[in-house]
Structure formats: C-alpha cells, structure tokens
Amino acid sequence: MKRIEHQAGSGPECLKVVEDQSPVPAEGEVLIKVAYAGVNRPDVLQRAGLYPPPPDACPHLGLEVSGTITAVGQGVSKTRIGEAVCALTPGGGYAEEVVAPAGHCLPVPKGISLKQAACLPETFMTVWANLIERGQLRAGQSVLIHGGSSGIGTTAIQIAKWAGASRIFTTVGSKDKAAACEGLGADRPILYKEEDFQKVIKDETKGQGVHLVLDMVGGDYIAKHLRCLATEGRMVSIAFLNGADVKLDWTLLMIKRLTFTGSTLRARSDEEKTRIAQTMQAALWPELEKGRLLPLIHSEFPLAEAAKAHALMESSNHVGKIVMSVQP
C-alpha cells in the first residue's frame, strides 16, 4: 500500500509517498480501506517535531479517516466487513489502509458523504470531550471559542449552538472569517488583530464575563482568560500555540472560584476513547443526519499532495477542515 512518510522536525516538503506493507489488525482492531483522511493541527505539530505520539501509538501521521472495513482482528465480528465507517485512528491515517480499534469506528451518518465523514472523528470527539464534558457548557451559558475559523473552531461554534449557548464569542483573523463564523452561529466574532477580546467581552457582557473559554492559544491569552471569565467560570485548554510557559497571578482563581482544566484526546486509553465516541454518536449523529450540524470543508488534496495540505494548515488561510482523498 501507499502511505505518507515524514521526518520529525521538518517542514511540509518532507511529506512523501512511500510503499509499505499493509497493516494487520490485532485483537479488537479492524483494517480500513481509506477513502479520505482528515488533516489536523496535531498532524502538523507531530511533523514539526513538537507533538510526539504516545509510545504505544503508530508513529505515522493521520488521526481520522473514512472508508470501508475490509478485515477484522480476533474478537471483532466478521459482520463488520464491508461496513462504511469513519474512525479515530492511533496514527497512520495518511495511507491507503490503516488499522483502528473497533470501538473507535463509527457508522457514517445517513446523508453524509465519505469526504464529510472523514472530518468527524478527531474533531468532533475533541470538541465534545472538552466543550461539553470537561467544559460543562449548558443552555443559557456564554462561551468564548478561540480560532473560530479552524476545523475545531467551526465545529465548536456549531456544537455550542446545539447545546443552547446564549452568546457565542469567537476570535478570527479577518472579516471574511468573521462572516463565515456568523453563518455557523457565532454571535460576536472578534477581529483579534484589531480588537482586544478581553475588552470586547467585558463590554458585551456588561462586566459579567463568559461562563466558558475554549482555548487553543495559551501564552499571554491565559491571563486574559482569568479576567474574561464570569464567577465560577471554566477554562478548557486544548493546545498552546503561543506557548505553555506563562507567569500568572492566580488570585482570581480563588476570588472568582474558577476552574482551569484541559485535555488531549490522543493520550487517552482506548476504552475512554470508545466511551467518548459512543456518547458523542448518540447525541450528535441524529443532528448530522438532519443537517443541523455539518463539517465545513475548505479544501481537498490528493494524498500525494500532503505537503500542500500541511502548508495550507500552517498558513491559517483556511476556514474549516482540510481533507485528503486517498481512494474515493
């Protein structure tokens, strides 16, 4: 089979198609003939040498795919062979074939294409686990979502709307991105290059602050978040694009009784990922099938042009998801 090879610590140009042996599903796993692979920020960080995979994970790139199950390992029913799925993979999704735990494979929602389905597992599970489970976003609450035009951001805006958020604030880099986020349900896009998001939230909430911040920026934003949060507010960190080493005055944490938490999806156990997948599917698959939630796709590249896909991701000139076609 063909897959993408990379060199940790290198630029997009290092991504090359190579020939490799087809993987064999172990106990509890399935083999998937890949139709499409989603491109995610963790892939870019791993390639750049900034996000090494867990020791027991596949070292190759690619965390979400769609396709067809062609073989199963011990303990998995053979009736799953031929099933169209989208799957969270332990790596290796940038390939014609990949293995994944059976519990991480979800049915393609009715009315959703394989291309759209490839955008669901990593992104939707990340947002569900952090916005809904850890962040405890509930109807009537306000939320600040950073990077609103990213794959995570466009998904988080839609899920926050589904959850009944009263006000959805999001940071964006241009007016075009602001318009796209408003179309998805954001109430107040903040042009972070021109506006101070802390001041905007203070003014728009009459000094009360927001109930929840979903942060993928880190750095100097963290201190601002403590001031942006309402009493008993929560901040959930899922990435530190501006750095993780910060000096903070934690007094507000006590005064306002704040909760500061975070998580990554890849480091969780297979059992925990299965639980998240099943919980998310039960809640969101009906919404996808009714067209009330949809992944926003910006660009599609063939597998051989993985370098272009990564370059676009790093440029941040996209709105929504980037996918690669493998063998549609």
256 with 128, same domain: the answer is yes
Three-state DSSP state, 271 = helix
Q: pLDDT digit string (tens) for 24-63? A: 999 999 999 999 999 999 999 999 999 999 988 999 999 9
With b for 16 or more beta-carbon neighbours within 10 A and e for fewer, the 311-325 pattern comes to bbbeeeebbbbbbbb
What pLDDT shows up at residue 118?
A: 98
39 with 130, same domain: the answer is no
The answer as to whether 119 is a domain residue is no
130 with 252, same domain: the answer is yes
258 with 133, same domain: the answer is yes
The answer as to whether 46 is a domain residue is yes
What pLDDT shows up at residue 245?
A: 87
H/E run at residue 88:
strand 84-88
CA distance 269 to 274: 9
The answer as to whether 285 is a domain residue is no
207 with 308, same domain: the answer is no
300 with 245, same domain: the answer is no
The answer as to whether 289 is a domain residue is no
Q: pLDDT digit string (tens) for 218-229? A: 999 999 999 999
The answer as to whether 114 is a domain residue is no
Its domain, for residue 159, covers 124-262
What pLDDT shows up at residue 166?
A: 98
Sheet with 142-145, strands from edge to edge, namely 188-191, 167-172, 142-145, 210-215, 229-237, 259-262
CATH of the domain at 136: 3.40.50.720
> Beta strand pairing status for 84-88 and 64-72?
antiparallel
153 with 59, same domain: the answer is no
Residue ending a domain, choose from 208, 239, 262:
262
DSSP-derived letter for residue 53 is P
73 with 180, same domain: the answer is no
The answer as to whether 113 is a domain residue is no
What pLDDT shows up at residue 241?
A: 84
Q: What are phi and psi of 146, to 5 degrees?
A: -80, 155
155 with 84, same domain: the answer is no
101 with 176, same domain: the answer is no
CATH of the domain at 77: 3.90.180.10
Residue ending a domain, choose from 262, 282, 304:
262
The answer as to whether 116 is a domain residue is no
Residue ending a domain, choose from 209, 239, 262:
262
Could you say which residues of the chain have pLDDT below 70? 328
What pLDDT shows up at residue 56?
A: 87
Report the amino acid identity of residue 2.
Answer: K
- Cβ-proximal residues to 273 (8 Å cutoff; 6+ apart), any chain: 88, 101, 103, 104, 125, 265
Count: domains in the chain: 2
36 with 95, same domain: the answer is yes
135 with 209, same domain: the answer is yes
The answer as to whether 291 is a domain residue is no
pTM of the model: 0.96
